[in-house]
Amino acid sequence: MITHEELHRLLFYDPDTGDFRWLIKRKKVNPGEIAGSVNTRGYRNIQINNKWYGAHRLAWLYMTGSFPPSLMDHINGIKDDNRFCNLREATPSENCCHRRSTKGAYYKGNGWEASIMKHGRSHYLGRFKSADDAYRAYLQAARQLHGDFAHGV
């Protein structure tokens, strides 16, 4: 596991842009080049000493001196936006609340229904005449149940 000191020796992190840049020459990389690549899930990863690290977790280490004890959440939902102001610690439940989802309001029979998940349990919010009404009910419940981690509010 990389240390805070070794990270500072190898990379420069700009908390305002979220970019890591190499400070040293590596095999195919020159000093000043942006470190890492974006994986198929949309996260930027950086390889150091044959081990891959999420750039968001390295940003936390760089800024605080220690790895986050739990999961990390990108506040704006953009997985490779690693600006320090866009990162926060999250529990597994909070992290799930912030995932993008098409659920919440759905057409069933001849009307619209809404539901929301919390701690693995579905909460039925009611039946509505329009998709907008169902979605508003979903957003209100999301604010109440998920607070700052509510997606789409």
Question: Measuring CA to CA, which residue among 30, 29, 4, 35 is closest to residue 17?
Answer: 35
What CATH number is associated with residue 43? 3.90.75.20
Give pTM, 2 decimals.
0.68
Q: How confident is the model at residue 102 (pLDDT cuts 50, 70, 90)?
A: very low
Query: Structurally, how many domains does the chain consist of?
Result: 2
Could you give the C-alpha distances from 45 to 94, 98, 135, 139, in angstroms and in order? Answer: 22, 21, 35, 33
| Residue partners of 29: CB distance under 8 A and separation at least 6 | 22, 35
Query: In this structure, are 79 and 10 located in the same domain?
Result: yes
Query: In this structure, are 70 and 9 located in the same domain?
Result: yes
List pLDDT tens digits, range 56-71: 999 999 999 999 888 8
Q: What is the residue whose two structure tokens read 């610690």?
A: 89
List pLDDT tens digits, range 4-55: 999 999 999 999 999 999 999 988 899 999 999 999 989 999 999 999 999 9
